[in-house]
Amino acid sequence: MNKWDLRFMQLTQLVGGWSSCFRRKVGAVIVKDKRVMTTGYNGAPAGMLSCIERGECLREKLHIESGTRAELCYGVHAEQNAIIQAAKYGIDIRGATLYCTHQPCVICAKMIINAGIVRVVYREGYPDEFSMKLFEEAHTAVEKFEEKE
């Protein structure tokens, strides 16, 4: 890892702090040529109540295990929000790196691959082995960030 990876990983932590999720604060930053293209954090779609505003987590209420049934959640994942922002504002993210606080799930992996992102750097693991298989098959570089002391 280099100093740029450290800087962008630090930024994911800041962005993740904006999350409106009870379970996990996830931040994502899409970078190209050492420039931040977009950011995203996990939270409810625009104009909808967040889990914090609702006072409950739907996934906890339904006893849904982490890493499964991602569609049963009010939140949009941080990686998805970062990709959506790029589409919304016409920002080309092909060839970019996506930095994320957590390993992407399989749904995010599919979006990352189709968006043309070529590298993913994450800090925390996530119980979704299939996403890693897809990244490998798509030849998307994936690196677990290890901060050196």
Instruction: Find the catalytic residue in 53, 56, 65, 79.
Output: 79
Q: Taking the CB of residue 5, how many other CB atoms lie within 10 A of it?
A: 18
Which tokens go with 44?
């409810």
Please state, in angstroms and as integers, the Cα–Cα distance from residue 17 to each residue in 42, 50, 105, following that order: 10, 14, 19
Told to judge if 137 belongs to the known catalytic residues of this protein, a careful annotator would answer no
Report the distance separating Cα 84 and Cα 56, nearest Å. 25
User: Which residues are catalytic, by number?
Assistant: 79
